[in-house]
Amino acid sequence: MDMKKVKLSIFIFLLGFNLFAQSFTMEQVTSFPFPSELTASNSKDWIAWAMNEKGLRNIYLAQAPHFDTKKVTNFSVDDGQEISSLQFTPDGNNLIFVRGGEHGSNWDWNVGINPSQSTFMPKVEIWKLALVNGKVEMITEGDEPIVSPDSKTVAYIKNRQVWTFDLNDPKPAQLFEIKGSVANLSWSPSGDLLLFIVNRGTHSMVAVFDLREKSLRYLSPSFSRDTSPRWSPDGRKVTFIRRPGGKPEPQPILEQRHNPWEIWTADIQTTEGKMRWKAPETLRGSISTTHGGANLHWAADNQLIYLSYEDGWPHLYAMDAEAGLSRQLTKGNFMVEHVLLTPDKKSLLFTANTGPLKDDIDRRHIGRVDILSGKMDIWSQGESIETNPVILSGNQFLACISSNSKRPMLPTILSLETGQMKVIGESILPPDFPLEQMLTPKQVIFKSPDGLNIHAQIFEKEGGEGKKPAVLFVHGGPQRQMLLGWHYGDYYSNTYAINQYLANMGFVVLSVNFRLGIGYGHEFHKPERTYWQGAEEYLDVKAAGEYLASLPQVDDQRIGIYGGSYGGYLTALALAKDSGLFKVGVDIHGVHELSSRLEMPEGFEKAPDFEKAQKTAFYSSPLAYLDTWTSPVLFIHGDDDRNVQVSQTVDLIRRFEERKMPFEYLIIPDDSHHWMKYANLVKVNTATVDFLQKHLKP
Ligand SMILES: CC(=O)N[C@@H](C)C(=O)N[C@@H](C)C(=O)O
């Protein structure tokens, strides 16, 4: 056989082998569509949601009882402009939504973002979709719109002030002027009052603007921080959360403390307020930092609803708004996360990591609890994940977002009569999405050196010769929980896609739920000596690396690590402290400099343990271990990041340069923490897996 034929045969064999080894591309698995903003009309059996399809973000509609899906907008450019505040007008005739901004940010969420380098900065705008004729029009610049009960007026925030426009004849105008920054707008049931929070920096107050009298009044004003105002069903009272204002004298920095909060009510007419409940002054009694915080609601039968960690798990409680006497509604070793008051205000829908399966603690299912009787049941179950429930107006159907280990998140309908679940919009999955190649991750639980049970998910493709390389994924937040399926957060659906790709490439992939994460109780979520106070969460990351190294099928000389944000911080710490275990890493918009978390002393006062805290913060950071950082690293950061300052990476790279330490980098100009432009997401994902492969699978 001549050499040409030999070379052709070898090429065909290698091509075939490679195709077998990697049955889909990074772009194919990154092309998962992501639904968000699921909402239901209160007057018609309609649902609507925003769908991100390869960066094209559009609105879809579906109607009971068949729920055929229909795309009703046509934004056709991958320009990074997200859709938020999606809502039906109460009469069901229009959809209102916001386009633009970066609402997952820690700051500047309502500032335009420009990852496509448009000539002029895109703005944050309020749009209207008329359902009668499908007309879509941009109304005005603004954010956080809410529609009046008579469906005639939209109130919204612009330049931190309250504006309104008439839906049928939009002439936007500022409603009044007030010192400070306005947030949390809500209409009274009668539609003649607007309730909101005004933030004055050291304190914040609940205020009401009377549109008829053009007058403003504060409800129970104080020097506290009042937040989360909610109307009573009759519109005559308001409930809100009260926390201390201002700054205390310097407290010991390295000690945990109770974070006090109270529930108050106030009368709209008298403006008089009264404390109805004070949180137990324990660590568990601190206000919850899980989704929605206190999740305060005013339900039917004069019941106040709140979520508290006081029994060690985030659970729902109710109390009579006059008599008090709180009682626990949900009970058990599980977390209540997303909470929704049903339209009749008589029960609560919630998502929780509980169900009949042993490993349901690493999933989410939908539950319901009747407020007066306390009768609770879990409506969804199985190896799927359900979140973000909404009840349709006819009370026959519930809609949610669901996924499983193979299928990405899609809108799903639950019949309240039959309990049947129906996924809708499966046709939105790209035709070349590698659904069948998706692997089912398995639950893994191992002990940390100090005895904690650490949950993780392991992804592994059957077969393969000899020992395999491995990759450890470390999530961010850190108040997050990775699950046994596609995640309900877009950021973590993307890392789930990366993990699927790596596993399909032949890596053993482990996704570790380290302490500080949610879903495993208060003491796991709020441990001592973590982050800049001692970084003990790193014990779990190192234990996860050692768990991988202990697996017979893993080559312990080919273990890599990657993570974003808080996960980028722990990736850098792992590479700096344990390059012997972690041979390569990708640090995506990581945090590295921690001392700036300390409030520098003002004047003569400083915390009694300030010096110790400063030293602890330094030695909790990868900056303290650059001498032992020998593993190759790729740094990635968007330079319009509004969750982690890009300086965190710029400064660390400067240290590498001055120390002549090797590194690779990828800067994504004008994009944020959440890779708003799909093309950037693919670029980051590809760079991540290529760097890991280059060093672990030469
Ligand atoms: C709250 C926040 O922005 N935390 C960052 C440090 C971070 O981890 N961001 C993403 C990845 C997240 O999960 O919140």
pLDDT at 356 over 90: yes
Q: Does ligand 1 come within 6 angstroms of the Cβ of 104?
A: no
Residue 599 pLDDT: 78
Rounded mean pLDDT of 23-44? 95
SS3 of 432-475: the string is CCCHHHCCCCEEEEEECCCCCEEEEEEECCCCCCCCEEEEEEEC
- Which of 513, 532, 643 has the most ligand 1 atoms within 8 A of CB, as the residue to mutate? 643
| pLDDT tens per residue across span 507-535 | 999 999 999 999 999 999 999 999 999 99
Please state, in angstroms and rounded to a whole number, the distance separating the CA atoms of residues 138 and 144: 15
* Cβ atoms 411, 61 nearer than 8 A: no
- Helix or strand or coil: residue 399? strand
- Which of 566, 588, 646, 675 has the most ligand 1 atoms within 8 A of CB, as the residue to mutate? 566
| Residues comprising the chain, all counted | 698
Q: Does ligand 1 come within 6 angstroms of the Cβ of 477?
A: yes
pLDDT at 498 over 60: yes
Low-confidence winner among 26-30, 187-191, 593-597 (lowest mean pLDDT): 593-597
Please state, in angstroms and rounded to a whole number, the distance separating the CA atoms of residues 569 and 587: 7
Within 8 A by CB and 6+ apart from 370, the residues are 346, 347, 376
Q: Does ligand 1 come within 6 angstroms of the Cβ of 588?
A: no
According to DSSP, residue 531 is labeled G
Rounded distance from Cα 565 to ligand 1 centre (Å): 6
Q: Which residue's C-alpha comes closest to atom 13 of ligand 1?
A: 477
* Cβ atoms 187, 175 nearer than 8 A: no
Q: Does ligand 1 come within 6 angstroms of the Cβ of 672?
A: no
Confidence of residue 393 (pLDDT cuts 50, 70, 90): confident
* Cα diameter, the chain: 99
Share of the chain above pLDDT 70, in %: 97
| pLDDT tens per residue across span 439-495 | 999 999 999 999 999 999 999 999 887 899 999 999 999 999 999 999 999 999 999
Taking the CA of residue 564 as reference, the ligand 1 atom at the shortest distance is 11
| 424 HSE (CA, 13 A, CB side) | 28
ipTM of the complex: 0.93
DSSP output for 284-308? TTSPP-STTTT--EEETTTEEEEEE
| pLDDT tens per residue across span 111-170 | 999 999 999 999 999 999 999 999 999 999 999 999 999 999 999 999 999 999 999 999
Q: Is the peptide bond before 65 cis (omega within 30 degrees of 0)?
A: yes
Q: What is the mean pLDDT of the chain?
A: 95
| pLDDT tens per residue across span 650-680 | 999 999 999 999 999 999 999 999 999 999 9
Rounded mean pLDDT of 13-31? 70
Low-confidence winner among 218-227, 359-368, 417-426, 560-569 (lowest mean pLDDT): 417-426
Taking the CA of residue 492 as reference, the ligand 1 atom at the shortest distance is 13
Residue 16 pLDDT: 45
Q: Does ligand 1 come within 6 angstroms of the Cβ of 430?
A: no
Confidence of residue 1 (pLDDT cuts 50, 70, 90): low
pLDDT at 17 over 50: no
Please state, in angstroms and rounded to a whole number, the distance separating the CA atoms of residues 241 and 263: 5
Q: Does ligand 1 come within 6 angstroms of the Cβ of 565?
A: yes
Please, what are the domains in the chain?
443-596+608-696 (3.40.50.1820)
Backbone angles phi, psi at 267, to 5 degrees: -90, 130
Q: Which residue's C-alpha comes closest to atom 4 of ligand 1?
A: 477
According to DSSP, residue 426 is labeled G
Please state, in angstroms and rounded to a whole number, the distance separating the CA atoms of residues 495 and 498: 5
Taking the CA of residue 566 as reference, the ligand 1 atom at the shortest distance is 8
| pLDDT tens per residue across span 105-119 | 999 999 999 999 999
Q: Does ligand 1 come within 6 angstroms of the Cβ of 105?
A: no
- Which of 474, 490, 644 has the most ligand 1 atoms within 8 A of CB, as the residue to mutate? 644
Residue 389 pLDDT: 95
Rounded mean pLDDT of 39-55? 95
- Residue 459 β-bridge partners: 509
* Cβ atoms 575, 629 nearer than 8 A: yes
Confidence of residue 394 (pLDDT cuts 50, 70, 90): confident
Q: Does ligand 1 come within 6 angstroms of the Cβ of 643?
A: yes
Rounded distance from Cα 479 to ligand 1 centre (Å): 8
Taking the CA of residue 591 as reference, the ligand 1 atom at the shortest distance is 6
Residue 9 pLDDT: 61
* Cβ atoms 225, 183 nearer than 8 A: no
Rounded distance from Cα 475 to ligand 1 centre (Å): 9
Residue 42 pLDDT: 87
Q: Does ligand 1 come within 6 angstroms of the Cβ of 644?
A: yes
| Burial tier of 388 (Cβ tally within 10 Å: 0-12, 13-18, 19+) | buried
Q: Which residue's C-alpha comes closest to atom 12 of ligand 1?
A: 477
pLDDT at 18 over 60: no
Please state, in angstroms and rounded to a whole number, the distance separating the CA atoms of residues 548 and 472: 8
Residue 11 pLDDT: 55
Rounded distance from Cα 478 to ligand 1 centre (Å): 6
Please state, in angstroms and rounded to a whole number, the distance separating the CA atoms of residues 43 and 315: 30
Segments in 489-533 forming alpha helices (H): 490-504, 522-525
Backbone angles phi, psi at 454, to 5 degrees: -105, 120
Q: Does ligand 1 come within 6 angstroms of the Cβ of 270?
A: no
Share of the chain above pLDDT 90, in %: 92
Taking the CA of residue 478 as reference, the ligand 1 atom at the shortest distance is 8
Of residues 409 and 43, more confidently modeled: 409
pLDDT at 386 over 80: yes
Query: What is the number of H-type helices and E-type strands within the chain?
Result: 9, 40
